[in-house]
């Protein structure tokens, strides 16, 4: 049986380690590589100019690589549930392949598309290759709950064994029996739209420091892997948030869009470690990839993960709503040079160091401005090239001391923290020169840090006191379980409910007896 097959690119914008694509090529006659500009994801709320530019770079690189396989990329606009039925008919499609994606929107979208595919007699195949591990397996192994500490996560992953090896990219030989039917009008019909057509932002973007695409990703990976000693010695907390050139790899945007496979990255690192003394998780480069797994598992296992209300692991805090302070933070005019320099770099380059993210996130939330971390999350999502749904939410939960991290009395100083690694303020000078907002009219600090951060620690203390008293009244609540006040029966958290009804599109995944028994709330 040979198929007319669509491979649907969403994340996973690469040919290497793409098992779903390999599955498509195995029994394929006509191949249609497709990317859909879904307005739910690709709109001005989610996409700043730098993200748009990165995505366009990825798509051009993908099309270029596909041409080398005598194929092409087909770019379409619209909601996937509208686009695919038309394509199924138009191209007489019999098989659809894609990479599994655990984001809530993706799961519901893929569920709908799978249903439509089945209605059109189209076989659907998906593969896990965005993460090192199968997140549902991780949660199953931890008795149906997401691990809440890195140590616990490590123990679970150890029991699952090392990640799978990446699969090779398709070659011309693999394409011998396969063709992609495209016409002379391909550019007009299915070409990649120019940046100006996609992005409302009229301001000219800055220098493109991190061009998108798989080729660039693999080139950068090679460059870093040449420095074996640096790779082996890498300890994240020792890297600098305000060095003039990045003190880390900046491979995260490439992993986010799937230009670089996390498994390829993992096994290249393993090769570099081989026979050498090297650092270990959580601070090593392997450790960084495991943090990603940690947050992905949390995002799958915890309901309302990117929100405060309805998120069972999130401390409920009476954050202020203050649009003026929020705008000052977002637009790099807080009057704290270190904070404003970081926000300037974020807006200009789309990337800032992890510890710089800590500094500005702490400042926005529990440190100074007392603004809900969800507001910061939105800003980061739009501006960061590596704005990843699970990692962004997880890190904001962490930094605001809402979940995972609870030592809220450890507060970053918006002045002192930067001075540790940049005594002369060189980073601030560079960003002031580059920034369009920070400049001659440098404002006064919008808050008095010394006073307000102590007051805020007390406010956090109150929020935590409320948190533990709530947990004492209703121990089930802490686990995300709700108790029906009328009957007194406990109901599972939404995540477990959706698992029962089959969270993966096209597959029913029953809640196991083990996971039920191990939840003490039921017993």
Residue 193: both structure tokens together: 């739209």
Provide, rounded to whole angstroms, the least separation between the CB of residue 286 and DNA.
11
* Least spacing, CB of residue 154 vs DNA, in Å: 9
Interface residue with DNA among 163, 166, 213, 282 (CB under 7 A) is: 282
CB-wise, 233 or 478, nearer to DNA? 478
Q: Residue 74's beta-bridge partner residues?
A: 34
For residue 295, say whether it is annotated as part of any ligand binding site: yes
- Are 179 and 31 within 8 A, CB to CB? yes
Q: Is residue 475 involved in binding DNA (CB under 7 A)? A: no
Taking the least distance from each CB to DNA, the nearer of 33 and 147 is 147
Provide the mask over 128-167, with x wherever binding to DNA is found by CB under 7 A and - wherever it is not: -------------------xxxxxx--x------------
Which is nearest to 14 in space by CA: 184, 221, 196, 160? Answer: 221
- Comparing CB distances to DNA, the nearer of 262 and 355 is 355
Query: Which residue is associated with the tokens 């011309």?
Result: 172
| CA–CA separation, 256 and 512 (whole Å) | 32
Joined tokens for residue 37 = 């500009």
**Minimum Å distance from CB 212 to DNA?**
23
> Which tokens belong to 83?
């686009």
Positions 445 through 474 that interact with DNA (CB under 7 A)? 461, 464, 467-468
The annotation status of 15 as a binding-site residue, yes or no, is no
| Minimum distance of DNA from residue 467's CB (angstroms) | 5
**Closest separation between CB of residue 361 and DNA, Å?**
10
Q: What is the DSSP string of 502-523?
A: -SSTT---PPPHHHHHT-GGG-
Any contact of residue 355 with DNA (CB under 7 A)? yes
Bond prior to 366 in cis (omega within 30° of 0) = no
Near DNA by CB under 7 A, which window of 82-90, 285-293, 425-433, 500-508? Answer: 285-293
Strands (DSSP E) found in 227-271: none
In the bound state with DNA, the residue whose beta carbon lies nearer, of 167 and 361, is 361
State in angstroms the smallest separation of the CB of 410 from DNA.
Answer: 4
Among 23, 97, 102, 413, binds DNA (CB under 7 A): 413
Stretch that binds DNA, among 6-14, 121-129, 267-275, 403-411 (CB under 7 A): 403-411
Q: Which is nearer to DNA, 92 or 235 (CB)?
A: 235
Give 216's Cβ-side CA count (13 Å radius).
26
Q: Is there binding between residue 408 and DNA (CB under 7 A)?
A: yes
* Residue 206 Cβ vs DNA, minimum distance, rounded to whole Å: 27
- Interaction of residue 358 with DNA, rule CB under 7 A: yes
Task: Give the C-alpha separation, 343 to 337, whole Å.
Answer: 10
CB of 487 to DNA, least distance (A): 24
| Contact status: 236 vs DNA (CB under 7 A) | yes
- Nearest CB to DNA, comparing residues 35 and 412: 412
Q: Which is nearer to DNA, 149 or 274 (CB)?
A: 149
Query: 416: which 2 tokens?
Result: 């002192």
Residue 277: partners with Cβ closer than 8 Å, 6 or more residues away: 232
Angle between helix 262-273 and helix 214-226 axes, rounded to 10 deg: 10
Helices (H), 180-256: 186-190, 195-198, 214-226, 228-233, 252-256
* Residue 248 marked ligand-binding: yes
Q: Which CB atom, from 107 or from 148, has the smaller least distance to DNA?
A: 148
CA distance 326 to 334: 9
Q: Mind giving me the DSSP string for 157-185?
A: HHHH-SPPPPPPPP-TGGGTT-B----TT
Question: What's the min distance (Å) between Cβ of 441 and DNA?
Answer: 27
Q: Kindly state the smallest distance separating residue 394's Cβ from DNA, in Å.
A: 9
* Binds DNA by CB under 7 A, chosen from 161, 194, 237, 323: 237
Total residues binding DNA (CB under 7 A): 37
* Binding piece for DNA, criterion CB under 7 A, among 125-133, 193-201, 350-358, 485-493: 350-358
Question: Would you count residue 398 as binding DNA (CB under 7 A)?
Answer: yes
Q: How distant, in Å, are the alpha carbons of 220, 253, 255, 353, 422 from that of 250?
A: 9, 7, 10, 9, 20
Confirm if 344 and 430 have CB atoms less than 8 A apart.
no
Dist CA 498 CA 212 (whole Å): 35
Q: State how far the Cα of 248 lies from the Cα of 224, in Å rounded to an integer.
A: 10
Residue 227 binds to DNA (criterion: CB under 7 A): no
* Site residues (vs DNA, CB under 7 A): 147-152, 155, 235-237, 282-283, 287-288, 291, 313, 354-355, 358, 398, 405-413, 416-417, 420, 461, 464, 467-468, 478
- What residues are designated binding site for FAD? 248-252, 288-295, 386-388
């Amino acid at each position: 049986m040979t198929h007319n097959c669509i491979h649907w690119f969403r994340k996973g914008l690469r040919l290497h380690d793409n098992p779903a694509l390999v599955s498509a090529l195995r029994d394929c006659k006509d191949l249609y590589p497709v990317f859909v500009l879904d307005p739910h994801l690709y709109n001005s709320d989610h996409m700043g100019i730098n993200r748009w530019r990165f995505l366009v770079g990825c798509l051009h690189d993908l099309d270029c690589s596909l041409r080398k396989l005598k194929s092409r990329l087909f770019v379409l606009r619209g909601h996937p549930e509208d686009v695919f039925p038309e394509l199924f008919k138009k191209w007489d499609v019999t098989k659809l392949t894609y990479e599994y994606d655990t984001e809530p929107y993706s799961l519901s979208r893929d569920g709908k598309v799978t249903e439509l595919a089945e209605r059109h007699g189209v076989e659907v195949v998906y593969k896990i290759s965005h993460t090192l591990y199968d997140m549902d397996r991780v949660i199953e192994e931890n008795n149906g709950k997401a691990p809440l500490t890195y140590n616990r996560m490590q123990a679970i992953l150890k029991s699952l064994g090392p990640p799978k090896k990446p699969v090779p990219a398709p070659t011309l030989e693999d394409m011998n029996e396969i063709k992609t039917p495209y016409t002379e009008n391909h550019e007009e019909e299915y070409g990649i739209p120019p940046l100006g057509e996609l992005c409302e932002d009229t301001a000219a973007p800055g220098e493109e420091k991190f061009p998108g695409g798989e080729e660039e990703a693999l080139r950068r990976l090679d460059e870093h892997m040449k420095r074996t000693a640096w790779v082996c010695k890498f300890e994240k907390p020792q890297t600098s948030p305000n060095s003039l050139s990045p003190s880390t790899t900046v491979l995260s945007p490439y992993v986010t869009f799937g230009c670089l496979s996390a498994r390829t990255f993992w096994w290249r690192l393993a090769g570099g470690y081989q026979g050498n003394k090297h650092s270990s998780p959580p601070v090593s480069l392997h450790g960084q990839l495991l943090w990603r797994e940690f947050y992905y598992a949390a995002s799958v296992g915890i309901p309302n993960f990117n929100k405060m209300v309805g998120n069972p692991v999130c401390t409920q805090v009476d954050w202020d709503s203050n649009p003026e302070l929020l705008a000052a933070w977002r637009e790099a005019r807080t009057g704290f040079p270190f904070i404003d320099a970081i926000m300037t770099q974020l807006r200009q380059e789309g990337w800032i160091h992890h510890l710089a993210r800590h500094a500005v996130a702490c400042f926005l939330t529990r440190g100074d401005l007392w603004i809900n971390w969800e507001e910061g999350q939105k800003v980061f999502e739009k501006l960061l090239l590596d704005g990843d749904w699970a990692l962004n939410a997880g890190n904001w939960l962490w930094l605001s001391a809402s979940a995972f991290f609870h030592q809220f009395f450890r507060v970053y100083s918006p002045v002192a923290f930067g001075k540790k690694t940049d005594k002369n303020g060189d980073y601030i000078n560079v960003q002031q020169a580059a920034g369009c907002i920070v400049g001659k009219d440098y404002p006064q600090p919008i808050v008095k840090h010394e006073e307000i951060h102590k007051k805020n620690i007390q406010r956090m203390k109150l929020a935590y006191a409320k948190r533990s008293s709530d947990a004492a009244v209703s121990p089930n609540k802490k686990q995300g379980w709700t108790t029906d006040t009328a009957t007194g029966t406990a109901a599972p958290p939404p995540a477990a409910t959706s698992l029962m009804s089959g969270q993966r599109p096209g597959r029913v995944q029953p809640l196991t007896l083990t996971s039920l028994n191990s939840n003490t709330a039921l017993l």
